Amino acid sequence: MSSLSWALPVIIMMLFSIISIFITLFARIHALRKGNISVDDFKTMDFCKKDNPWLEVSSRHLN
């Protein structure tokens, strides 16, 4: 069993996680700049009340 056969899935999963982190980060910054969420919403991390389905989906993917 070569080292690449087990390392490739790990590397791909790590890349997917990093991409998901950046998507979530940019979605939260965008919603904050547009005024859809406030800084106080980050205390509870409850974005379900807002009209931001993209923010909610990206947060769930990260979790």
Q: Which two tokens stand for residue 29?
A: 């910054």
Please determine, for residue 7, whether its predicted confidence score (pLDDT) is greater than 80: yes
More confident residue, 11 or 31: 11
Query: pTM, whole model, 2 decimals?
Result: 0.72
The answer to whether residue 57 is domain-embedded is yes
Q: How many domains does the chain contain in total? A: 1
The answer to whether residue 30 is domain-embedded is yes
pLDDT digits (tens, 9 = 90+) for 12-49: 999 999 998 998 888 888 888 988 888 887 787 777 66
> In the prediction, which pLDDT does 45 show?
74
Query: Counting runs of H as helices and runs of E as strands, what totals does the chain give?
Result: 3, 0
Q: Which domain holds residue 58?
A: 17-62
More confident residue, 63 or 13: 13
The answer to whether residue 9 is domain-embedded is no
The answer to whether residue 52 is domain-embedded is yes
The answer to whether residue 39 is domain-embedded is yes
The answer to whether residue 10 is domain-embedded is no
Distance CA 41, CA 2 (A): 47
Q: Which two tokens stand for residue 52?
A: 């931001």
